[in-house]
Amino acid sequence: MVNPWDQDESYDYSDLWLGTKTVSRHINHKISGNESVNWVEYALAAYIVRDDPHKRCLVLGASEGHVERTLRKGEYSGYILSTDIADRALKRARERSCALGYSNIEYRVADLNIDRFDGPFDYIIAEGVLHHIERTEECLTHLRDILAPGGLLIAVEFEGPFRFQLTEPQVRWINAALSIVPLEFRPLSGNVSGVPADIEYMQRVHYVVASEESVRNIDPSEAAAGPRLKLLMPAIFNIVERKGFGGTLLSYMSGHFPFDQANADARVDRWLQVLLDIEDAVIETGLLEDEFVFYVANAKCGV
């Protein structure tokens, strides 16, 4: 099985919407109300007791370990069990924690389809991992069962279509949004600049849905459980807070828009802001839904 997050080098986000400062600020603002405060910092301020060394936190999809580093930097003093199926990424996370002198963090390779944890945990923090889990209901039920009384699940997750099999309206909105971008920022545009695409270019270059098989070949767990997660989260947990943060158009634009240039080129960044505005309008007017969501939830009894 191929896991793109478990390679010799850290996963490279630079060509994705999430790799840009403008998108990070946009998401921060949607979740925390402050473009400088990310979702972990927001959870730390709003929900997490920092000065109690007896608190216990389970991190899922820890990968390179930024969640536990943010927790420690924010002076969370409790125990952390940091987990992922990716042993190479987790090894790098452990090394960075050691180098920073952080203690009371345990690292454990675990497969959320199979492995179980000994609770209780006051906080379970999941980042972009639950949508990879085939056995979604069993996993979520287990997480509910190991929450301490009053414990919280804090998650940022993808809830979009199974293996990115987008609907026709969604594909149209992606291509409509891309069509307004000046050609110099589009692929295969030759030396043409200063104008948007013409019909001939749009027929030649446009977003198409990758086949389910090709998505599975890259990573069989990718986007395996988005729709199930969307249904099961409110069935298994009481939702304390739920905030969508888009991704419905922009997360599919890699290869069509130069996200990797946005941090350095103010013109690219300006068009990125336009694309974010279009995505917001499409979602705010009810045409499509957020695919990425921030959750704070607690256990629903008797389910």
- Per CB under 6 A, residues contacting ligand SAM are 3, 5-6, 61, 63, 84-86, 89, 111-113, 127-129, 132-133, 221
Q: Which of 196, 191, 133, 188 is nearest to 159 (CA)?
A: 133
Pick 219 or 269: Cβ nearer ligand SAM: 219
Side-chain half-sphere CA neighbours of 67 within 13 A: 27
The C-alpha atoms of residue 197 and residue 177 are separated, in whole angstroms, by: 11
Q: Is 85 or 236 the residue whose CB approaches ligand SAM more closely?
A: 85
Tell the smallest beta-carbon distance from residue 9 to ligand SAM (Å): 14
Rounded Cα distance, 278 and 284, in Å: 10
**Residue 189 vs 263, nearer CB to ligand SAM:** 263
- Smallest CA-to-CA distance from 104 within 61, 144, 75, 135 is with 75
Chain CA centroid to CA 86, Å = 16
The three-point CA angle 131-136-141 to 5° equals 125
Residue 102 or 271: the one with the smaller Cβ distance to ligand SAM is 102
* Closest distance of CB 89 from ligand SAM, Å: 6
CB of 145 to ligand SAM, least distance (A): 18
Smallest distance, Å, CB 199 to ligand SAM?
Answer: 37
Q: Taking the chain, what is the end-to-end CA distance rounded to the nearest angstrom?
A: 33
Of residues 84 and 279, the one with the C-beta less far from ligand SAM:
84
Residues near 223 by Cβ (< 8 Å), separated by ≥ 6?
Answer: 131, 158, 160, 161, 162, 163, 164, 215
Q: What angle do CA 112, 289, 113 make, to 5 degrees?
A: 10
- 3 or 248: CB nearest ligand SAM: 3
User: C-beta of 69: minimal distance to ligand SAM in Å?
Assistant: 12
Least Cβ distance, residue 204 to ligand SAM (angstroms):
31
